[in-house]
Amino acid sequence: MIVTPTGTVSVHPVERAIELLRDRYVFPERAEAATATLRQRLADGAYDGLDDSTLAERLTADLLDVCPDAHLWVRVRDERRATARASIRRVEILDGNVGYLDVRRISGSTGGGRAVVGAMELVSRTDALILDLRHNEGGSPDGVVLWSSYFLPAEPTHLNSIHDRVTGRTRQFWSLAWLSGERYLDRPLYVLTSDQTFSGAEDLCLNLKVRGRARLVGETTRGGANLATVLALTPTLEIAVPHAYSINPITGGNWEGTGIEPDLAVPAATAFDVAYAELREREPGAQEPPGH
Protein backbone atom coordinates (compact mmCIF):
# COMPACT_ATOMS: atom_id res chain seq x y z
CA MET A 1 0.00 0.00 0.00
CA ILE A 2 1.02 3.61 -0.60
CA VAL A 3 -0.26 6.61 1.37
CA THR A 4 -0.32 9.71 -0.83
CA PRO A 5 0.29 13.29 0.46
CA THR A 6 -3.47 13.79 0.57
CA GLY A 7 -3.91 10.75 2.80
CA THR A 8 -5.36 8.53 0.09
CA VAL A 9 -4.33 4.90 0.30
CA SER A 10 -3.49 3.24 -3.02
CA VAL A 11 -2.11 -0.14 -4.04
CA HIS A 12 1.58 -0.29 -4.84
CA PRO A 13 2.02 -0.89 -8.60
CA VAL A 14 4.00 -4.06 -7.94
CA GLU A 15 1.26 -5.42 -5.68
CA ARG A 16 -1.28 -4.56 -8.36
CA ALA A 17 0.83 -6.40 -10.95
CA ILE A 18 0.97 -9.45 -8.68
CA GLU A 19 -2.81 -9.39 -8.29
CA LEU A 20 -3.40 -9.22 -12.04
CA LEU A 21 -0.92 -11.96 -12.84
CA ARG A 22 -2.40 -14.36 -10.29
CA ASP A 23 -5.93 -13.72 -11.54
CA ARG A 24 -5.34 -13.57 -15.28
CA TYR A 25 -2.01 -14.90 -16.56
CA VAL A 26 -2.58 -17.67 -19.08
CA PHE A 27 -0.42 -20.25 -17.27
CA PRO A 28 -1.25 -20.25 -13.52
CA GLU A 29 1.89 -22.13 -12.46
CA ARG A 30 4.11 -19.57 -14.17
CA ALA A 31 2.06 -16.80 -12.62
CA GLU A 32 2.83 -18.17 -9.15
CA ALA A 33 6.55 -18.27 -9.92
CA ALA A 34 6.49 -14.74 -11.31
CA THR A 35 4.57 -13.30 -8.38
CA ALA A 36 6.95 -14.97 -5.92
CA THR A 37 9.84 -13.27 -7.69
CA LEU A 38 8.14 -9.88 -7.63
CA ARG A 39 7.28 -10.20 -3.94
CA GLN A 40 10.85 -11.05 -3.05
CA ARG A 41 12.24 -8.22 -5.16
CA LEU A 42 9.75 -5.81 -3.60
CA ALA A 43 10.73 -6.93 -0.09
CA ASP A 44 14.39 -6.48 -0.98
CA GLY A 45 13.76 -2.87 -2.00
CA ALA A 46 14.62 -3.46 -5.67
CA TYR A 47 11.80 -1.16 -6.78
CA ASP A 48 12.28 1.62 -4.24
CA GLY A 49 12.76 5.18 -5.48
CA LEU A 50 12.49 4.36 -9.19
CA ASP A 51 10.87 6.67 -11.71
CA ASP A 52 8.12 5.22 -13.88
CA SER A 53 10.32 4.43 -16.85
CA THR A 54 12.97 2.63 -14.81
CA LEU A 55 10.35 0.77 -12.77
CA ALA A 56 8.63 -0.39 -15.96
CA GLU A 57 11.90 -1.67 -17.41
CA ARG A 58 12.87 -3.47 -14.20
CA LEU A 59 9.49 -5.10 -13.76
CA THR A 60 9.45 -6.25 -17.37
CA ALA A 61 12.93 -7.74 -17.05
CA ASP A 62 12.05 -9.53 -13.81
CA LEU A 63 8.85 -10.93 -15.29
CA LEU A 64 10.53 -12.16 -18.47
CA ASP A 65 13.20 -13.94 -16.43
CA VAL A 66 10.44 -16.21 -15.13
CA CYS A 67 7.87 -15.99 -17.95
CA PRO A 68 9.58 -15.55 -21.34
CA ASP A 69 6.43 -14.27 -23.01
CA ALA A 70 6.69 -11.57 -25.66
CA HIS A 71 3.17 -10.32 -24.86
CA LEU A 72 4.07 -9.68 -21.19
CA TRP A 73 5.43 -6.25 -20.33
CA VAL A 74 5.10 -3.11 -18.20
CA ARG A 75 5.45 0.35 -19.71
CA VAL A 76 4.68 4.01 -19.16
CA ARG A 77 1.20 4.86 -20.38
CA ASP A 78 1.08 7.00 -23.52
CA GLU A 79 -2.31 8.10 -24.84
CA ARG A 80 -0.80 8.70 -28.27
CA ARG A 81 -0.52 4.95 -28.75
CA ALA A 82 -4.31 4.81 -28.93
CA THR A 83 -4.25 6.79 -32.17
CA ALA A 84 -5.30 4.58 -35.05
CA ARG A 85 -2.47 3.54 -37.35
CA ALA A 86 -2.82 2.81 -41.01
CA SER A 87 -3.09 -0.95 -41.34
CA ILE A 88 -2.11 -1.05 -45.01
CA ARG A 89 0.89 1.11 -45.82
CA ARG A 90 1.26 0.43 -49.54
CA VAL A 91 -0.61 -1.13 -52.46
CA GLU A 92 1.04 -1.48 -55.87
CA ILE A 93 0.79 -3.30 -59.18
CA LEU A 94 4.38 -4.10 -60.15
CA ASP A 95 5.84 -4.93 -63.55
CA GLY A 96 4.80 -8.40 -64.60
CA ASN A 97 1.32 -7.84 -63.15
CA VAL A 98 2.45 -8.75 -59.64
CA GLY A 99 0.46 -7.25 -56.77
CA TYR A 100 2.20 -5.93 -53.66
CA LEU A 101 0.59 -5.24 -50.28
CA ASP A 102 2.57 -3.80 -47.36
CA VAL A 103 0.38 -4.60 -44.35
CA ARG A 104 1.59 -3.09 -41.06
CA ARG A 105 -1.24 -4.14 -38.74
CA ILE A 106 -3.99 -6.75 -38.69
CA SER A 107 -6.94 -4.48 -37.94
CA GLY A 108 -10.25 -5.87 -36.72
CA SER A 109 -12.75 -6.85 -39.36
CA THR A 110 -15.12 -4.11 -38.21
CA GLY A 111 -12.69 -1.20 -38.07
CA GLY A 112 -10.31 -2.30 -40.80
CA GLY A 113 -12.54 -4.34 -43.07
CA ARG A 114 -13.08 -1.61 -45.64
CA ALA A 115 -9.34 -1.14 -46.08
CA VAL A 116 -8.82 -4.88 -46.61
CA VAL A 117 -11.66 -5.08 -49.12
CA GLY A 118 -10.35 -2.05 -51.00
CA ALA A 119 -6.77 -3.33 -51.10
CA MET A 120 -7.80 -6.78 -52.30
CA GLU A 121 -9.96 -5.23 -55.01
CA LEU A 122 -6.97 -3.26 -56.30
CA VAL A 123 -4.84 -6.41 -56.67
CA SER A 124 -7.68 -8.72 -57.72
CA ARG A 125 -6.61 -8.84 -61.40
CA THR A 126 -2.93 -9.52 -60.81
CA ASP A 127 -1.24 -12.78 -61.77
CA ALA A 128 0.60 -13.15 -58.46
CA LEU A 129 0.71 -11.38 -55.09
CA ILE A 130 3.39 -10.45 -52.55
CA LEU A 131 2.01 -9.89 -49.04
CA ASP A 132 4.62 -8.05 -46.98
CA LEU A 133 4.33 -8.72 -43.24
CA ARG A 134 7.92 -7.88 -42.33
CA HIS A 135 6.86 -4.86 -40.24
CA ASN A 136 3.58 -6.26 -38.97
CA GLU A 137 3.29 -6.66 -35.19
CA GLY A 138 -0.13 -8.31 -35.18
CA GLY A 139 -3.61 -7.21 -34.26
CA SER A 140 -7.09 -8.72 -34.12
CA PRO A 141 -7.97 -12.43 -34.48
CA ASP A 142 -11.07 -11.36 -36.44
CA GLY A 143 -8.81 -9.46 -38.82
CA VAL A 144 -6.71 -12.59 -39.31
CA VAL A 145 -9.89 -14.42 -40.28
CA LEU A 146 -10.75 -11.77 -42.88
CA TRP A 147 -7.30 -11.77 -44.49
CA SER A 148 -7.10 -15.58 -44.46
CA SER A 149 -10.51 -15.89 -46.07
CA TYR A 150 -9.40 -14.00 -49.17
CA PHE A 151 -6.81 -16.69 -49.90
CA LEU A 152 -8.85 -19.80 -49.08
CA PRO A 153 -11.89 -21.40 -50.78
CA ALA A 154 -15.41 -20.41 -49.84
CA GLU A 155 -16.01 -23.56 -47.81
CA PRO A 156 -15.40 -22.54 -44.16
CA THR A 157 -12.03 -23.67 -42.82
CA HIS A 158 -11.13 -24.02 -39.14
CA LEU A 159 -8.19 -21.63 -38.81
CA ASN A 160 -7.43 -21.37 -35.11
CA SER A 161 -8.81 -21.84 -31.61
CA ILE A 162 -8.09 -19.56 -28.66
CA HIS A 163 -8.41 -20.77 -25.07
CA ASP A 164 -9.02 -18.02 -22.51
CA ARG A 165 -7.97 -18.70 -18.92
CA VAL A 166 -10.18 -15.94 -17.52
CA THR A 167 -13.43 -17.25 -19.01
CA GLY A 168 -12.39 -20.88 -19.26
CA ARG A 169 -13.75 -20.96 -22.79
CA THR A 170 -12.21 -21.97 -26.11
CA ARG A 171 -13.34 -20.02 -29.16
CA GLN A 172 -12.95 -21.37 -32.67
CA PHE A 173 -12.11 -19.12 -35.62
CA TRP A 174 -13.28 -20.16 -39.10
CA SER A 175 -12.74 -18.61 -42.52
CA LEU A 176 -15.66 -16.70 -43.98
CA ALA A 177 -18.06 -18.26 -46.47
CA TRP A 178 -18.97 -14.83 -47.89
CA LEU A 179 -16.70 -11.91 -48.71
CA SER A 180 -17.25 -8.44 -50.08
CA GLY A 181 -15.06 -8.96 -53.12
CA GLU A 182 -13.29 -11.75 -55.00
CA ARG A 183 -11.13 -14.36 -53.37
CA TYR A 184 -7.51 -14.53 -54.46
CA LEU A 185 -7.21 -18.19 -55.46
CA ASP A 186 -5.19 -20.35 -57.86
CA ARG A 187 -2.44 -17.77 -58.21
CA PRO A 188 0.99 -17.58 -56.54
CA LEU A 189 1.03 -15.93 -53.11
CA TYR A 190 4.30 -14.99 -51.42
CA VAL A 191 4.41 -13.77 -47.81
CA LEU A 192 7.44 -11.81 -46.60
CA THR A 193 8.50 -12.26 -42.97
CA SER A 194 11.09 -10.92 -40.53
CA ASP A 195 12.05 -11.43 -36.91
CA GLN A 196 9.62 -8.59 -36.12
CA THR A 197 6.59 -10.31 -37.68
CA PHE A 198 4.51 -10.96 -34.58
CA SER A 199 1.32 -12.26 -33.01
CA GLY A 200 -1.69 -11.99 -35.36
CA ALA A 201 0.63 -11.62 -38.35
CA GLU A 202 2.20 -14.94 -37.36
CA ASP A 203 -1.26 -16.46 -37.10
CA LEU A 204 -1.93 -15.39 -40.69
CA CYS A 205 1.43 -16.79 -41.83
CA LEU A 206 0.72 -20.16 -40.22
CA ASN A 207 -2.81 -20.36 -41.63
CA LEU A 208 -1.46 -19.96 -45.14
CA LYS A 209 1.68 -22.06 -44.71
CA VAL A 210 0.15 -25.22 -43.22
CA ARG A 211 -2.45 -25.30 -46.00
CA GLY A 212 0.16 -24.90 -48.72
CA ARG A 213 -1.44 -21.66 -49.88
CA ALA A 214 1.58 -19.36 -49.60
CA ARG A 215 5.35 -19.47 -49.88
CA LEU A 216 6.97 -17.71 -46.91
CA VAL A 217 10.20 -15.85 -47.70
CA GLY A 218 12.38 -14.07 -45.14
CA GLU A 219 13.22 -14.76 -41.50
CA THR A 220 11.74 -16.84 -38.69
CA THR A 221 9.04 -14.76 -37.04
CA ARG A 222 9.22 -13.38 -33.50
CA GLY A 223 7.17 -16.05 -31.71
CA GLY A 224 4.15 -14.65 -29.84
CA ALA A 225 1.01 -16.81 -29.83
CA ASN A 226 -0.65 -15.60 -26.62
CA LEU A 227 -3.31 -12.89 -26.38
CA ALA A 228 -2.96 -10.11 -23.82
CA THR A 229 -5.05 -7.33 -22.34
CA VAL A 230 -3.44 -4.01 -21.38
CA LEU A 231 -4.49 -2.95 -17.87
CA ALA A 232 -3.65 0.05 -15.68
CA LEU A 233 -1.24 -0.35 -12.77
CA THR A 234 -1.31 3.35 -11.89
CA PRO A 235 -2.48 6.48 -13.74
CA THR A 236 0.93 6.45 -15.45
CA LEU A 237 1.88 2.77 -15.73
CA GLU A 238 0.25 -0.14 -17.55
CA ILE A 239 0.83 -3.86 -17.86
CA ALA A 240 0.03 -6.31 -20.64
CA VAL A 241 -1.13 -9.62 -19.16
CA PRO A 242 -1.45 -12.59 -21.54
CA HIS A 243 -4.65 -14.46 -20.68
CA ALA A 244 -5.25 -16.75 -23.69
CA TYR A 245 -3.30 -18.96 -26.08
CA SER A 246 -3.75 -20.18 -29.64
CA ILE A 247 -4.23 -23.78 -30.79
CA ASN A 248 -3.72 -24.47 -34.48
CA PRO A 249 -6.10 -27.26 -35.62
CA ILE A 250 -3.50 -28.81 -37.95
CA THR A 251 -0.35 -28.68 -35.80
CA GLY A 252 -2.15 -29.00 -32.46
CA GLY A 253 0.17 -26.36 -31.01
CA ASN A 254 1.24 -22.81 -31.75
CA TRP A 255 4.26 -20.64 -32.42
CA GLU A 256 4.87 -19.23 -28.92
CA GLY A 257 8.60 -18.85 -28.31
CA THR A 258 9.59 -20.53 -31.58
CA GLY A 259 8.14 -18.38 -34.34
CA ILE A 260 7.27 -19.63 -37.80
CA GLU A 261 10.05 -20.71 -40.12
CA PRO A 262 9.92 -19.44 -43.71
CA ASP A 263 9.92 -21.79 -46.67
CA LEU A 264 12.89 -19.87 -48.02
CA ALA A 265 15.17 -18.33 -45.40
CA VAL A 266 16.82 -15.09 -46.49
CA PRO A 267 17.59 -11.81 -44.69
CA ALA A 268 14.44 -9.74 -44.31
CA ALA A 269 16.06 -6.87 -46.20
CA THR A 270 16.36 -9.00 -49.33
CA ALA A 271 13.09 -10.95 -49.01
CA PHE A 272 11.19 -8.75 -51.47
CA ASP A 273 13.89 -8.96 -54.15
CA VAL A 274 14.08 -12.74 -53.81
CA ALA A 275 10.30 -13.24 -53.94
CA TYR A 276 9.83 -10.84 -56.85
CA ALA A 277 12.67 -12.45 -58.80
CA GLU A 278 11.16 -15.92 -58.31
CA LEU A 279 7.81 -14.72 -59.57
CA ARG A 280 9.33 -13.13 -62.64
CA GLU A 281 12.07 -15.60 -63.50
CA ARG A 282 9.95 -17.13 -66.25
CA GLU A 283 9.63 -13.79 -68.01
CA PRO A 284 12.48 -12.94 -70.37
CA GLY A 285 13.83 -9.45 -70.09
CA ALA A 286 12.20 -8.66 -66.76
CA GLN A 287 13.20 -5.28 -65.36
CA GLU A 288 14.88 -4.75 -62.01
CA PRO A 289 12.34 -4.50 -59.18
CA PRO A 290 11.61 -1.13 -57.58
CA GLY A 291 13.05 -0.44 -54.13
CA HIS A 292 11.12 -1.81 -51.15
The per-residue pLDDT for range 104-130, each reduced to its tens digit, is 999 987 778 999 999 999 999 999 999
220 & 247 share domain: yes
210 & 249 share domain: yes
Q: What is the mean pLDDT of the chain?
A: 92
Least confident piece of the model among 15-24, 104-113, 128-137, 179-188: 104-113
Which has more confidence, 60 or 9? 60
Report the distance separating Cα 248 and Cα 162, nearest Å. 9
142 & 255 share domain: yes
Q: Is 178 contained in some domain?
A: yes
138 & 32 share domain: no
Which has more confidence, 85 or 108? 108
Is residue 129 a contact partner of residue 187, using CB atoms and an 8 Å limit?
yes
Q: Is 74 contained in some domain?
A: no
Is residue 13 a contact partner of residue 237, using CB atoms and an 8 Å limit?
yes
pLDDT category at 185 given cuts 50, 70, 90 is: very high
Supply the pLDDT for residue 4: 41
Supply the pLDDT for residue 282: 63
Q: Is 274 contained in some domain?
A: yes
Mean pLDDT of 187-216: 98
Report the distance separating Cα 68 and Cα 39, nearest Å. 18
CA atoms within 13 Å, Cβ hemisphere of 189: 26
120 & 201 share domain: yes
39 & 112 share domain: no
Q: Is 267 contained in some domain?
A: yes
Over pLDDT 90: what percentage of the chain?
86
Q: Distance between alpha carbon 224 and the CA centroid of its chain, in Å?
A: 7
> 106 pairs with which residues across the strands?
139
15 & 137 share domain: no
Supply the pLDDT for residue 200: 97
8 & 118 share domain: no
259 & 129 share domain: yes
Domain ends where: 68, 97, 125?
68
Supply the pLDDT for residue 197: 98
Supply the pLDDT for residue 112: 84
CATH number at residue 224: 3.90.226.10
44 & 148 share domain: no
28 & 107 share domain: no
102 & 143 share domain: yes
Query: Would you say residue 77 has pLDDT above 50?
Result: yes
Supply the pLDDT for residue 278: 96
Q: Is 76 contained in some domain?
A: no
At a CB cut-off of 8 Å and minimum separation 6, what does 258 contact? Answer: 220, 223
Model confidence pLDDT, tens digit, residues 237-273: 999 999 999 999 999 999 999 999 999 999 999 999 9
Give the domain range for residue 51.
2-68
Please tell me the total count of domains within the chain.
Answer: 2
